[in-house]
A and B are shown apart, each in its own frame.
Chain A
Amino acid sequence: MGRTLRSRLEVSGIYLIVLVLFAVILYPLLWAVSISLNPGSTLFSAKLIPDNLTLDHYRWLFADPLSEYGLWYKNTLIVASFNALISVSLVSMLAFVFSRFRFAGRKHGIYTFLLLQMFPVLMGMVAIYLLLNLVNLLDTFAGLILIYSIGGLPMNVFLVKGYLDTIPRDLDESATMDGAGHLTVFFRILMPLARPILAVVALFTFMAPFMDFLTPRIILRSPEKYTLALGLYNFINDKFSNNFTIFAAGTILIAVPIATVFLLLQRFLISGLADGATKG
């Protein structure tokens, strides 16, 4: 009897801790949602449970001629799609080579990647600005995509290489025996098996432009090229409290799709990260 009581107490204790954490996690998120539904535009008058809920801010984002939200969304989608596409192709090829070939310079190559991923891209922003200026890529999507896809290369290659290392070599060796070329081995055998980790890379690289306001802030100049994060950041940067309700509505429209995809791919994320990166 004593044992079951103790066990019950323990279980309730665990549930209690989980519940407290639920509150801590959900409070800010719900607060943001409720702010976005508050009438008016300032935080001063905002209430947790608004007297009269309104979708005005959401309507404003898409309907008001002053709002460039739709344009920002389109820009971000363009940058994000290309970034994911280019990153996945480059990363998978590089990881394949580093995982399956033994060649002079391989070790140094891995070391270089390892070291470079430690340095934040931010450290070289002045130089990136000047470089893009020199090759006329300043204020273009191409420049932004270039920085994103190449800047993230070292880390992602490491992630995928670790995953490929866990796939038995016998598979591709026997295919090579049967006369398959490098590319056949790559596309037909390894890529299908590496799908979970490639999904992780695609997701991360797709999401990066939605969340990063700093790189576009340095590279993009014309307002019609702004990405969502940059546009929204500028929106509240000057008068923080004044536009906050609209800002909240705008960010929720980014957060909901991203969070949904994220949670749907949860299983992939867990297995991909745990299998690949830990052995990387």
Chain B
Amino acid sequence: MQNALQTGPGPGGAPSPKRAAWLSVVPGLGQLYNRRYIKGSILLLLALSLAASLGAWTVQGLQGLVTLGEDPNVDDSRTLLTEGILALLLGLALLAAYGLNIRDAWRDAVRRREGERIPSMRQAFHDSYDKGFPYFVVVPSFILLAMVVIFPLLFMVALAFTNYSLYNSPPAKLLDWVGWANFKELFVNPLWTQSLLSVLSWTVFWTLVATTLQIALAMLLAVLVNDSRIRFKKAIRTVLILPWAVPSFMTVLVFAAMFNDTFGAINTQLLAPFGVQIPWLTDAGWARTAIILIQVWLGFPYVFTLFTGVLQSISKDWYEAADVDGGSRWQKFRFITLPHVLFATAPLLIMQYSFNFNNFNIIFLFNKGGPPVPGQSAGATDILISWVYNLTFTDNNYKMAAAISIIMGVVVAAFALYQFRRTRSFREEGY
């Protein structure tokens, strides 16, 4: 109280934060009450123009999101859904800004009551540049990110709760919200359950085996080539990186041709002398073997590069100390090299697993998920993401594709967050 008297807040006595906050229910008024006239009027104008221009659109959008359209001749449910989700995002952003506005009025009033001077316009600009700099950079990027990445994910989530499929698709028909029906279908209808189970188990198997083999081969080679007795290291490494340097789009298609049952080079050139012909593309087991081998070929150079970098940075002292203690070569590898390398590259190795979990390109380009499996809507080498792709773009079964995507997303996110939190980089940040 004494402070307030000293600075003389004006005829109204001590400014009340409560009143300032209440006044800024209409954005700007609270700031005007705080005698920040310019800021207040800017906010007021901004709020009025936003309300006038976007208010109706937002409300309409939200309405459309609830009803998904009433007359199939006028309304396109997809547009309504798109606009509805955008309106939802916009509404949330506006709400957040609104909350910030109220908090700002409250804080200014508290500051004034405690006798702080209100900064001049120039000072305010300077302060906001200084403190607000991160936001000037982050906010626009997040808006773009919200549009390009977050919005599509929300859209997908929304689709999973509608009845959008080939037989019920806009613009001819309207979509409806169907609750959890699609998920129920997925877990109750034996056709779907069987497909889901077999695809899921192959996806997990594929991810674990292909990635682990990749890492193991990379580790072996990195250690061998790093041996001090080996010469031409640079040349060797250059050749070993080649599969990474050549676009995988190209190599997978080349492999698809090489593994072709009838005219591929593997059968006609490599295996012909032994009189063996392997049905690489038509037999489920062989197709899976081939695709894992190809992924190891494609993926080991990246991990090899990482490991080589780390190996070169391990101090020689460690090994000398081990020599003094009479450590065997295996012990040196097991207790010095391996922990060092894995510790330093853990987050990137985890990313390799999640990359392969979603490795659409190789599956699609090699055999389009084939060969087909009877009684199942997915092929033998289909992983979740390529199955989703086929359901979406070939079968136009959007609702089921969306439901499966959600299951996929949950698996990926849970696994990744769990792993990342355990790794060093997060502890260092103090999370």
Q: Could you list which residues of chain A lie within 8 angstroms of chain B, going by C-beta atoms?
A: 7, 10-11, 14-15, 17-18, 21-22, 24-26, 28-29, 31-32, 35, 43-44, 48, 90, 93-94, 96-98, 101, 103, 105-107, 109, 112, 114-116, 118-128, 130-131, 134, 146-147, 150-151, 153-154, 162, 182, 207, 210-214, 229, 233, 236, 240-241, 244, 247-248, 251-252, 254-255, 258-259, 262-263, 266, 269-271, 273-274, 277-280
Are the C-beta atoms of A32 and B250 separated by less than 8 Å? yes
A229 touches B408 (CB 8 A): no
Q: Which residues from A are CB-within-8-Å of B184? A: none
Binds A, one of B192-200, B219-227, B315-323: B219-227
A23 → B minimal CB distance (Å): 10
CB of A273 within 8 A of CB of B245, answer no
Closest-by-CB residue of A relative to B85 is: A127
- Residue of B82, B150, B227, B257 near A240 (CB, 8 A) is B257
Whether B253 and A130, one on each chain, are in contact in the complex, defined by CB atoms closer than 8 angstroms, is no
Which of A146, A213, A247, A279 is in CB contact (< 8 Å) with B148? Answer: A146
B245 close to A258 (CB less than 8 A)? yes
B427 contacts chain A at the CB level, 8 A cutoff: no
Cβ A247 vs Cβ B239 within 8 A: no
Task: Map CB proximity to A onto B231-247 as digits: 1 under 8 Å, 0 otherwise.
Answer: 00000111111111111
B245 near A116 (CB under 8 angstroms)? no
A residues near B248, Cβ cutoff 8 Å: 211
Q: Whole-angstrom distance between the alpha carbons of A107 and B429 in the complex?
A: 10
Please report the C-alpha to C-alpha distance between residue A266 and residue B313 in the assembled complex, in whole angstroms.
Answer: 17
Is B183 among interface residues, defined by CB-CB distance under 8 A? no
Contacts of B398 in A (CB 8 A): 126
Interface pair A274/B133, CB less than 8 Å apart: no
Distance between Cα atoms of A263 and B305 in the complex (Å)? 12
* A54 CA / B59 CA spacing, docked (Å): 66
Majority DSSP secondary structure for residues of B touching A = helix
Q: Interface digits, B205-228 against A, CB 8 Å rule (1 contact, 0 not)? A: 000000000000000110011010
With a CB–CB cut-off of 8 A, which chain A residues contact B335?
none
Q: Which residues of A contact B247 (CB under 8 A)?
A: 207, 210-211, 229, 251, 254-255, 258
Closest 3 CB pairs of A and B: A124-B152, A274-B309, A127-B155
Give the one of B134, B256, B313, B413 with max A CB within 10 A: B134
B249 near A123: Cβ-Cβ < 8 Å? no
Contact A127 B360, beta carbon cutoff 8 Å? no
Q: Which residue of the partner chain, among A7, A25, A96, contacts B240 with CB atoms under 8 Å?
A: A25
Task: Decide: A214 near B360, CB < 8 A? Known: A31-B265, A162-B425, A277-B347.
Answer: yes
Which B residues between 239 and 286 are near A, CB-CB below 8 angstroms? 239-251, 253-258, 260, 263-265, 269
Smallest Cβ-Cβ distance to A236: which chain B residue: B253
**A130 contacts B145, CB within 8 Å?**
no
Find out whether the CB atom of B149 lies under 8 angstroms from the CB atom of A150: yes
Q: Residue B254 contacts which of A17, A212, A248 (CB distance < 8 angstroms)?
A: A248
Contact between chains at A28 and B251 (CB < 8 Å): yes
Are B239 and A22 in contact, with the CB atoms below 8 A? yes
1/0 per residue, CB under 8 A from A, across B391-417: the answer is 010000010000001001100110011
Contact B309 A120 (CB under 8 A): no
- 24 pairs, A vs B, C-beta closer than 8 Å: A26-B242, A94-B137, A98-B138, A101-B134, A114-B420, A115-B416, A123-B152, A124-B156, A126-B159, A126-B398, A127-B82, A127-B154, A153-B149, A154-B149, A162-B425, A229-B247, A251-B253, A255-B247, A258-B247, A259-B242, A270-B309, A274-B306, A274-B344, A278-B348
Min C-beta distance of B400 to chain A, whole Å: 13
Known: A101-B133, A101-B134, A114-B417. 16 other contacts (CB 8 A): A17-B224, A18-B221, A21-B221, A24-B297, A28-B254, A44-B263, A97-B133, A97-B137, A97-B138, A115-B413, A123-B385, A150-B145, A214-B361, A236-B253, A263-B241, A278-B306
Please name all residues of chain B whose beta carbon is closer than 8 Å to the beta carbon of A127 when the two chains form the complex: 82, 151-156
Tell whether B358 is near chain A: CB-to-CB under 8 Å.
Answer: yes
Given contacts A236-B253, A241-B257, A258-B245, contact A273 B431 (CB under 8 A): no
B79 an interface residue at 8 Å Cβ cutoff? yes
Known: A21-B221, A120-B358, A270-B305. A255 touches B257 (CB 8 A): no
By size class, the interface of chain B is 35 or more
The answer to whether A48 and B250 touch across the interface, beta carbons within 8 angstroms, is no
Given that A103-B134, A259-B242, A270-B308 are contacting pairs, would A116 and B149 also be in contact in the complex, using a CB cutoff of 8 Å? yes
The interface residues of chain A lying within 8 Å CB-to-CB of B413 are: 115, 118-119
Flag B152-178 by CB within 8 Å of A: 1 or 0 each.
111110010000000000000000000
**By the criterion CB–CB under 8 Å, are A119 and B149 in contact?**
yes
A31 touches B258 (CB 8 A): yes
- In the complex, what residue of chain A is closest to B221 when comparing beta carbons? A21
The residues of A that contact B306 with a CB separation of less than 8 Å are 273-274, 278
The yes or no answer to B147 lying at the interface (CB within 8 A) is: yes
B291 interface contact, C-beta 8 A: no
Whether B149 contacts A28 by the Cβ 8 Å rule is: no
Docked Cα-Cα span, A280 to B152, in Å, equals 27
Q: Which residues on the B side are within 8 Å of A244 (C-beta)?
A: 257
Q: Specify which chain A residues have a CB less than 8 angstroms from the CB of B112 in the assembled complex.
A: none
Q: Does B230 contact A (CB under 8 A)?
A: yes
Q: Is the CB of A29 within 8 A of B137?
A: no
- Residue among B149, B237, B254, B309 with the most chain A CB within 10 A? B149
Known: A11-B229, A273-B305, A278-B310. A21 touches B159 (CB 8 A): no
Q: How far does the alpha carbon of A147 sit from the alpha carbon of B147 in the complex, in Å?
A: 10
B155 touches A124 (CB 8 A): yes
Q: CB-CB < 8 A to B82: which residues of A?
A: 127, 130-131, 134
Say whether, besides A22-B239, A211-B248, A255-B247, A147 and B263 are in contact (CB < 8 Å).
no
Q: Which residue of B lies closest to A260 (CB)?
A: B245
CB neighbours (8 Å) of A255 from chain B are: 246-247, 250
Question: With A and B bound together, what is the CA distance between A93 and B136 in angstroms?
Answer: 10
Expressed in whole angstroms, the Cα–Cα distance for A151 and B152 within the complex equals 11
Taking CB atoms, residues of chain A closer than 8 Å to B147 are 131, 150
List residues of chain A with CB within 8 A of the CB of B288: none
CB nearest neighbor in B for A135: B147
Closest residue of chain A to B164 (Cβ to Cβ) is A126
Whole-angstrom distance between the alpha carbons of A7 and B345 in the complex? 31
B67 partner residues in chain A, CB cutoff 8 A: none
> Do A120 and B257 have beta carbons less than 8 Å apart?
no
| CB of B233, distance to nearest CB on chain A (Å) | 10
| A21–B240 CB distance below 8 A | yes
Q: In whole Å, how far is B369's beta carbon from the nearest beta carbon of chain A?
A: 14
**Min CB–CB distance A170 → chain B (angstroms):** 18
